[in-house]
Structure 1
Amino acid sequence: MSQGKLLYAQSGGVTAVINATAAAVIDTARRRKVPVLAARNGIIGALREDLIDTSKESAAAIKALRHTPGGAFGSCRFKLKSLEQDRARYERLIAVLKAHDIRWFLYNGGNDSADTSLKISQIARELGYPVNVVGVPKTVDNDLAVTDCCPGFGSVAKYTAVSVAEASLDVESMCASSTKVFIVEVMGRHAGWIAAAGGLAARKAGDPPHLILFPEVAFDEDAFLARVKATVERVGYCTVVASEGLKNAAGQFLAEAGTRDAFGHAQLGGVAPVLAQLVRQKLGYKYHWALPDYLQRSARHLASKTDAEQAWAVGKAAVEYALAGRNAVMPVIVRTSDAPYRWKIEPAPLERVANHEKTLPKGFISRDGYGITAAARRYLEPLIRGEDPPKYLRDGLPDYVRLGNAAVRRKLPRYEIAD
């Protein structure tokens, strides 16, 4: 009689450390003699019964996975609706789990994934199929409720702060005869956590970034232009960190492209060039702008050690919770001390996580709306501490691994996913 298998899937936009979580899941399960399958391209692979046999991967490959960016098994943006609206798909998922004797399902993603995990646990209970479902936290946006921080955020925060500091030194050196304004656009549709992290580059008053534009603060064109002008006149240049989710007083995105993704989110067309044109037209300053985009979440070479350790810890705990019989829970990070920084992992019910968004606290934004407070710095700074670099090869590039991802033989009829 089969002992049961564990299925792991990755969801949504990946992070620099999501594969560290995957490596922890596989390593922990192997130590417990539990076979691990992975869904190719997230929940889509689970629905299509497109599964991967991770037992075919060597211990060395799994070890290297810990330091490799991207999503090793493929991820996707695909949202399952309510149990009533998407019941056939949920029943298909249970059929796939049953066909492969999957008794533990770990879904590694953000808010939508936590909601899906909760619903899968509910439909499995209703249909009488014994499977323990554990949501595993991951998101660069740091907007999951309950957990103190989200694995993936600390590395993006570190990349952002370092990039702002380095680019500002470049701009400062050229501002007398060239660029006066530099704008960097960061991710963050509704929550300004990454924008706030850019503020860590300023070690003392007056250091760049000189302005941070948060999605939580309505954009005021006149006030913005006045601050840019005053900063350039005072220090010679102005560095701006702008969240992609910046909105005007009417609540409209400054740079909405007019399309939406699978989760129903507006596709944002780039707030940095919009702001840059404003600066050029109204103030006449020479400018440059940058859109790091995927570079923010894939920069494993600059990952935070704290972040990498937490990503591993939630993966390990997720397996332990599932094998211990816990269901519909998520391992979350609990901060026990700021100084010295200490944290631990505890289980939280998925009902407390799903469909709850954690935005930047008002107390983290300075009174003028353009900077971060000491409280924000106390929260953010420990998350970017430490380095956890990958191994570099003689050609000067990191030694990133590509898994074989051997397919598991299908047992059910082919399944097509209609739009």
Structure 2
Amino acid sequence: MPRNALYAQSGGVTAVINVSAQGVIETARQHPQHFGKLYAGRNGIIGALTEDLIDTSLESDAAIAALRHTPAGAFGSCRHKLKGLDKNRAEYERLIEVFKAHDIGTFFYNGGGDSADTCLKVSQLGETLGYPVQAIHVPKTMDNDLPLTDCCPGFGSVAKYTAVSIREAGFDVESMAKTSTKVFILEVMGRHAGWTAAAGGLASENEGEAPQVILFPEIVFDEDKFLAAVDASVKQHGSCSIVASEGIRLASGKFVSEAGGADAFGHTQLGGLAPLLARLVGDRLKYKQHYAVADYLMRAARHIASATDVEQSYAVGKAAVELAVAGKSGVMATIERQSDSPYVWTTGEAPLDQVANVEKKMPRDFISADGFHITDACRRYLAPLIAGEDYPPYRNGLPDYVRLRNAAVPKKLPTFTVTK
């Protein structure tokens, strides 16, 4: 009798994380000899700890197929990082209890770097606690900062959103600059790695086109150099459009937009970079300015997803199941680039002990010498990732997204409280 499997989503969701869920579920359904039921954790690892499981077998093939066009996390996500076994053994013991109670032998965790760490620990704890569990990581992060994979599913669509948005805003600013706004700032996500901000550079194909300035976390923020670059653009081109990563830092190492506090993963909370930069431009340069914070809009924008990203997101979900069928554990499904043009890629695998808690930042040769734009090498890397459109179906003028039944699996164990 084949054992059951558990799939869960983690961290900030994306426009295409559900495509990976589709890939996992549809592929698992093609291997009934290897998997019994495929459960999903409601709200990620929290669902596994609290025995709040969803029976995906009760979802129709049509509903699972519709995940391809639906943004966010269909089963709910969470921000909860398992501490070391020596620091919170109770959580690990609880996971094994839930796995045993529901005969779960395979765990698919769909997330970023912290999720890779959790998945690695699950792959190791089974042996330690006497209940072996296959654990496969399905990569997802809009930040594109996972190592050992050419790119991260979720990033291509965010990159496309960023490039399209700054191109459209740039046209707007240019048309109004003579008598109105001369400077526009688009703040995008990206704490330590500037991939998302870099994607905005794709919109600028000719000299003087928006964005004229990009701010990367990898480049120390220098107020005077920034203002000089903005001023030069306005004087030469009439306006200046800026893409600013939320994670830019001062020479001291402090985030420019540090707001105080930390999230559930222990990351410093950021906020308010765009208005801060706008005030700086207004106070020092006296130019009229506007700003926008893309935030959740950019990661939820399924209506403008990259076709490449959709295809890769499904592929890593499918590959994760195939890795499990092959007997692998403690690995992540990866994207491997074969060539830039034409863009050719395949799926592969990477050991989780080389992925967990490692951030892939922008190489210096991807950033221009002055630190304010991307190079041709960066453009060659990024361009294929935003290629193609995969529009969702529309109904009554709006995207037609699916909401799953998410029927609960009956509980068998006592209540468990998750500690923060």
**What TM-score comes out, normalization by structure 1 length?**
0.98
- 1:27 matched residue in structure 2: 26
SS at match of 2:393: coil
Pairwise CA distance, 1:123: 0.9
Count of residue correspondences = 417
The equivalent of 1:404 in structure 2 is 405
Residues 3-402 of structure 1: pairs in structure 2 closer than 5 A: 3-33=2-32, 34=35, 35-393=37-395, 395-402=396-403
What amino acid is the match of 2:401?
Answer: Y
Give the whole-Å Cα distance in 1 for the aligned partners of 2:107 and 2:334.
Answer: 17
Alpha-carbon distance in 2 for matches of 1:246, 1:327: 37
SS across alignment from 1:66? helix
Alpha-carbon displacement from aligned partner over 1:71-112 (angstroms, at most 9, x marks no partner): 000000111111211221011111111110011100000111
Distance (Å, rounded) in 2 between the aligned partners of 1:347 and 1:224: 41
Find out whether 1:418 has 2:419 as its counterpart: yes
* Residue type of the alignment partner of 2:14: T
Contact 2:39 2:56 in 1 (8 A): yes
**Structure 2 gaps, min length 5:** none
> Are the aligned partners of 1:330 and 1:347 in contact in 2 as well (CA < 8 Å)?
yes
Secondary structure of residue in 2 paired with 1:37: strand
Q: Deviations over 1:102-127 (max 9, x none)?
A: 11100000111111111111110112
SS of residue matched to 1:316: helix
User: C-alpha separation between the residues in 1 aligned to 2:127 and 2:325?
Assistant: 17
Deviation at 1:128, TM superposition (A): 2.3
Alpha-carbon distance, 1:334 to partner = 0.5
Give a deviation string over 1:262-313, Cα, whole Å, max 9, x none.
1111111221110000001011111100001001100001000000000000
The root-mean-square deviation of aligned C-alpha atoms, in Å, is 0.8
Measured in 2, the distance between the counterparts of 1:118 and 1:163 equals 37
Contact 1:9/1:40 (8 A) holds in 2: yes
In the TM superposition, what is the alpha-carbon distance from 1:330 to its structure 2 partner? 0.7
Shift of 1:130: 2.7
Q: State the distance in 2 between where 1:83 and 1:206 align.
A: 54
1:5–1:104 Cα contact (<8 Å) kept: yes
Q: 2:367 and 2:74 mapped to 1: Cα distance?
A: 36
Does the aligned pair in 1 maintain the 2:146–2:360 contact within 8 Å? yes
CA distance in 1, matches of 2:286, 2:50: 55
Q: In structure 2, the residue corresponding to 1:76 is in which secondary structure?
A: coil
Between 48-57 and 118-127, the greater mean CA deviation after superposition: 118-127
Question: Structure 1 stretches of 5 or more lacking a match?
Answer: none
Report SS of the residue matched to 1:182. strand
What percent of counterpart residues are identical? 65
Query: What is the deviation of 1:129?
Result: 1.2
Is 2:21–2:317's contact at 8 Å kept on the other side of the alignment?
yes
Q: How many angstroms does 1:259 deviate by?
A: 1.0
1:186–1:241 contact (8 Å) kept in structure 2: yes
Deviation at 1:234, TM superposition (A): 1.1
Q: Distance in 1 between matches of 2:129 and 2:325?
A: 21
Q: How far off its partner does 1:417 sit? A: 1.3
For 2:403, the aligned partner's letter is: R
